[in-house]
Chains A and B, each alone.
Chain A
Amino acid sequence: MLFQKWILSLGRYMQLLGRTFRKPENFRMYYRAFMSDLELLGLNSLGIVSVISIFVGAVVTIQTAFNLDDPLVPDYYIAIATRESIILEFSPTIISLILAGKVGSNIASTLGSMRVSEQIDALEVMGVNPASYLIAPKILALVFFNPILIMLSMFLGMIGGYLASLGGVMSVEDFAYGLTVDFNAYHVSYAIMKTFVFAFLIVSISGYFGFYVKGGAIEVGVNATKAVVSSSVAIIVSNYILTQLLLV
């Protein structure tokens, strides 16, 4: 029964995606929507991503230093470990999870209120494809901007580690040296590939939950929560699959 419901939802989700990627009625209007979504979903997330990245970078450094407190292991290993955990996992996955909360609930509740106030019906009657007009620019905006956010997060995470080393957990020279040793650029590419997928999942899943709200204010809230939970789960599961495929 539950499985049946799940399959049905998956079918409806795919159908919505099919409706989303259609030829726009008017490129300029879609471009305008894209630009405003870029601001809403991307630029407006810069603050939270920066703060979290700096602090988590610092904490990861301190914890790693604490755990590698062994005279046989050189101190610059701490920086290597920090760098790798930030690039491989923290920035792409954890930041995307945070964005799933911030951006996902925003998208689901916006579309949900448009649905219950019949604004989506109004678009439909005008001859506009509401799925495409409301969701496609958001997908493009986040798929375009998420990698930028993630790279910024990687950079700031390491700055956070550097600040922690300034605070005295280890020598600043060792930290700076460790950041560059054994650097594998493929790890960054792997992370960026993940973020494309995560951005797509966040917007399309939240869009789905918002687009099909039935009822009123309560249902909008319920679906916004479902959007965050489902896109987080989708990120975690696809993270595993992508890691299998790309790293092993």
Chain B
Amino acid sequence: MIAVKQIHKSFGEHQVLKGIDATFYHGKTNLIIGQSGSGKTVFLKSLVGLHEIDQGEIEYNGQALGSLNTKERKSLRTEMGMVFQGNALFDSLTIEENVTFALSMFSGMSVSEKRDRAQFCLERVNLPNVGSKFPSELSGGMQKRVAIARAISMNPKYLFCDEPNSGLDPKTAIVIDKLLQEITEEFGMTTVINTHDMNSVIEIGDHIIFIKEGKKAWQGTGEDILDTESPEIVDFVYSSELFKRIRRNKA
């Protein structure tokens, strides 16, 4: 479980997060939604400690992130997997080396065990047979899926994904969504996903937080979100023609 208490984060004069509370339970797919520039990435990076927050507290199973020493923080991080918005693949390593990097560093697995694990993770994201290629030889969507395979290679307890299905076609996007939801339930992970894909929101959103202007403007589930009358949500969700039609049909 991750508990976020009143976190604030500014860059110079620019206040990005202005006091956000949230609780993310294990085995649940938690989604952060909000407009581009609303601070989703900053929020996610603050959760994992890549941004030092100015105020507030982030607790992992009751342990405040800020109170951990370097060693404790490192050991917590071996339980985290993260997919960056820009993938952040190691471009000098092959796909297989990317996926097995953390295993090589921390697991003591043999070469063949690591290879099997990489194969398994890559197959789960629908990417067999690319292990020996380099990231620059793959398409954007393929790179994204490699990033997901890398994030789940260690069976993390906490999985953070920054727009895992942006740049994917609708079919692959659904495969990835389903995968994230499946492994979250299967391994009891605490998963936090940034997205603005409304389809994911409805399909896999166990718990949704809507960030607007640095504050939490709404929270609920994927089912609630279509029915809520909250004006901010209505404005956000029903901005596309498709969803406007769905709303009209429902009414």
Contact = CB atoms under 8 A, between A and B. Distances in A.
A189 interface: no
Nearest to B162: A118
A59 B78 CA distance: 57
A119 B48 contact: no
Interface of A: 25-26, 28-29, 117-119, 121-122, 124-129
A121 B105 contact: no
Given A25-B105, A128-B105, A122 B88 contact: yes
Interface of B: 45, 48, 50, 74-78, 80, 82, 84, 86, 88-91, 101-102, 104-106, 160
B82 A122 contact: yes
Main SS class of interface, B: mixed
Contacts of A28: 104
Contact of A26 (B48, B77, B91, B105): B105
A153 to B, nearest CB: 29
5 contacts: A121-B84, A122-B90, A124-B50, A127-B75, A127-B76
A126 B105 contact: yes
A117 B92 CA distance: 13
B106 A127 contact: yes
B90 A119 contact: yes
Contacts of B160: 125
A24 to B, nearest CB: 9
Contacts of B101: 126
A34 to B, nearest CB: 15
Nearest to A23: B71
A12 to B, nearest CB: 15
Nearest to B73: A127
A25 B106 contact: yes
B40 to A, nearest CB: 15
B88 A127 contact: no
